[in-house]
């Protein structure tokens, strides 16, 4: 009950803050920093987070001494690796960094309790578009869950500062909006469309296409064979447990693939990565809420959340009931049906 009240208060505060102009937001954000600051940008590396971190690096170029982009997850998805390589994005693994060397820390495209790797870091600023959570604080907070991408928010910051993005930055932000809105098939608002249109003539579309075409390794096709063999469909819901996966991003690709199947209104794809169960949720978002369902099922035993049409849960296997630790498609069906 206390956490629900705190979350409600955070939402009211964010609605109040949303009335700020882009210039007011930019001014408040930049007031956090001084010329002597070494700034650490912390992200869970995906296209939106990578692009947004490049934008913040541009915003702070002449405001601070240094800016470092760090991430905890291993980047294995080919399109994300291609984005980093083609756009020459300078990033470092979080576990190789000493936090004490940085006077300011900024989180982008996530919130401090989304991953265990973030929980012990005191953030000075948090900028995100995911559903609002509680249990953390920061001096500067910009949460806009109605936006399809943080990249759209970053365009507003850049334009408020009179900064025209370079071709590389424009390409990164353009691609990020495409990915996070699924070419505007997923949740987005007018602000996303305005930012996308602004970037359209600035981005290098050939580079965007090269990144988009880098998607699957030959070895990963075996996961599709397993998914097609093991999937079960019941009441317009598709369930499949793929087993152990080398890279959890393949679960996202499989879930998005199945989400295009006619008359399938829900997709649940799970797999084991390391010692964690990863579950990907997909739906059309119409009278459905994937993020809420993920939280209802898994929040008490792991991390879970997302948007109305897309969500993710990660649970240490040891946190599951003993009879569920040998996970299967049937267990996935049972757990989800219980909350629907």
Q: How does residue 9 score in pLDDT terms, banded at 50, 70 and 90?
A: low
pLDDT score for 76: 83
Question: What are the tens digits of pLDDT across the range 54-89?
Answer: 999 999 999 999 999 999 988 888 899 999 999 999
pLDDT score for 220: 87
pLDDT score for 7: 57
Residue 204, pLDDT > 60, answer yes
Report the mean per-residue pLDDT for the chain.
Answer: 92
Among the residue ranges 10-14, 181-185, 215-219, 336-340, the one predicted with the least confidence is 10-14
Is the CATH number 3.40.50.970 carried by domain 2-213?
no
Question: What are the tens digits of pLDDT across the range 309-332?
Answer: 999 999 999 999 888 888 999 999
pLDDT score for 97: 93
Taking alpha carbons only, the member of 318, 251, 253 closest to residue 278 is 251
pLDDT score for 245: 94
CATH of 218-337, one of 3.40.50.720, 3.40.50.970, 3.10.310.40, 3.40.50.280: 3.10.310.40
Among the residue ranges 57-66, 168-177, 209-218, 266-275, the one predicted with the least confidence is 209-218
pLDDT score for 269: 98
Q: Which one of 76-80, 106-110, 134-138, 303-307 scores highest in mean pLDDT?
A: 106-110
Domain locations in the chain?
A: 2-213, 218-337
Q: How does residue 13 score in pLDDT terms, banded at 50, 70 and 90?
A: low
Q: Which one of 16-20, 76-80, 188-192 scores highest in mean pLDDT?
A: 188-192
The span from the CA of 271 to the CA of 113, in Å, is 22
pLDDT score for 37: 98
Question: Can you tell me which residue has the tokens 């007031």?
Answer: 31
Question: What are the tens digits of pLDDT across the range 116-169?
Answer: 888 889 999 999 999 998 889 999 999 999 999 999 999 999 999 999 999 999
- Higher local confidence (pLDDT), 10 or 144: 144
Average pLDDT over every residue of 276-289: 91
For the entire predicted model, the pTM comes to 0.70
pLDDT score for 340: 82
Average pLDDT over every residue of 183-197: 90
pLDDT score for 5: 52
Taking alpha carbons only, the member of 76, 78, 119, 117 closest to residue 96 is 117
pLDDT score for 17: 61
pLDDT score for 3: 55
pLDDT score for 322: 86
Average pLDDT over every residue of 299-307: 90
């Amino acid at each position: 009950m206390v956490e629900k009240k705190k979350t409600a208060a955070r939402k009211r505060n964010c609605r109040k803050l949303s009335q700020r102009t882009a210039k007011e937001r930019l001014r408040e954000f930049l007031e956090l920093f001084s010329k002597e600051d070494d700034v650490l940008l912390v992200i869970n590396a995906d296209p939106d987070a990578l692009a947004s971190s490049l934008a913040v690096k541009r915003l702070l170029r002449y405001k601070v001494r240094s800016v470092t982009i760090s991430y905890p997850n291993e980047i294995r998805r080919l399109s994300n690796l291609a984005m980093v390589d083609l756009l020459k994005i300078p990033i470092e693994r979080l576990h190789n960094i000493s936090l004490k060397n940085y006077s300011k820390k900024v989180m982008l495209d996530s919130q401090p309790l989304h991953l265990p790797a973030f929980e012990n870091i005191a953030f000075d600023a948090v900028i995100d578009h995911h559903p609002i959570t509680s249990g953390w604080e920061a001096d500067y907070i910009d949460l806009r869950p109605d936006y399809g991408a943080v990249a759209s928010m970053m365009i507003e910051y850049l334009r408020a500062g009179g900064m025209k993005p370079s071709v590389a930055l424009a390409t990164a932000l353009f691609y990020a909006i495409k990915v996070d809105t699924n070419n505007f098939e997923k949740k987005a608002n007018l602000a996303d469309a305005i930012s996308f249109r602004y970037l359209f003539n600035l981005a290098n579309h050939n580079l965007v296409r090269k990144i988009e075409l880098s998607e699957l390794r030959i070895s990963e096709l075996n996961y599709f064979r397993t998914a097609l063999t093991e999937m079960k469909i019941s009441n317009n819901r598709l369930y499949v447990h793929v087993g152990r996966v080398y890279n959890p991003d393949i679960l996202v690709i499989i879930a998005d693939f199945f989400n295009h199947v006619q008359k399938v209104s829900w997709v649940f794809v799970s797999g084991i990565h390391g010692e964690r169960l990863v579950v990907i949720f997909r739906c059309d978002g119409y009278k459905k809420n994937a993020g809420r369902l993920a939280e209802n099922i898994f929040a008490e035993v792991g991390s879970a959340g997302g948007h109305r049409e897309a969500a993710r849960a990660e649970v240490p296997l040891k946190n599951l009931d003993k009879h569920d630790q040998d996970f299967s498609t049937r267990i996935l069906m049972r757990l989800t049906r219980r909350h629907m």
